[in-house]
Amino acid sequence: MYLQETLAKSPRWEAWMELIELFTGLFLLVFLQFHMLAVATIILGPAAFNRDALMLDEYYLSYIGIPLVILAIIVHGLVALRKAPWRYKEMAIFIQHSRRLAHLDTWAWFVQIITGMAVLILAAIHIWNTLSTWPIEAAKSAFRIQSGSFSNLFLLLLIAEIHAMVGLYRILVKWSWIHRQKFTKWLVYATIGFVALGFIALVVFYFLDVKGLT
Positions in the binding site for ligand HEM (CB under 6 A): 32, 35, 38-39, 56, 62, 65-66, 69, 119, 123, 126-127, 129-130, 136, 141, 144, 153, 156-157, 160, 198, 201-202
Closer by beta carbon to ligand HEM, 156 or else 162:
156
Q: Distances from the Cα of 153 to the Cαs of 32, 58, 100, 102, in angstroms? A: 13, 26, 36, 32
Closer by beta carbon to ligand HEM, 163 or else 169:
163
Closer by beta carbon to ligand HEM, 170 or else 178:
170
Cα gap 184→194, rounded to integer Å: 15
Q: How far is the CB of 56 from ligand HEM (least distance, A)?
A: 6
Closer by beta carbon to ligand HEM, 130 or else 146:
130
Tell whether omega for the bond before 11 is within 30 degrees of 0, i.e. cis.
Answer: no
Q: How far is the CB of 31 from ligand HEM (least distance, A)?
A: 7
Closer by beta carbon to ligand HEM, 129 or else 184:
129
Q: How many residues does the chain have?
A: 214
Q: How many CB atoms neighbour CB 47 within 10 A?
A: 11
Closer by beta carbon to ligand HEM, 56 or else 168:
56
Give the SS3 label for residue 140. helix
Q: How far is the CB of 102 from ligand HEM (least distance, A)?
A: 31
Q: How far is the CB of 158 from ligand HEM (least distance, A)?
A: 8
Q: How far is the CB of 78 from ligand HEM (least distance, A)?
A: 16
Question: Taking a C-beta distance cutoff of 8 angstroms, is the pair 145, 206 a contact?
Answer: yes
Write out 141-163 in H/E/C secondary structure: HHHHHHHHHHHHHHHHHHHHHHH
Which residue has the CB atom at the shortest distance from ligand HEM?
A: 141
Q: How far is the CB of 151 from ligand HEM (least distance, A)?
A: 11
- The b-or-e profile of 53-77 (16+ CB within 10 A means b, else e) is beebeeeeebeeeeeebeebbebbb
Cα gap 6→13, rounded to integer Å: 12
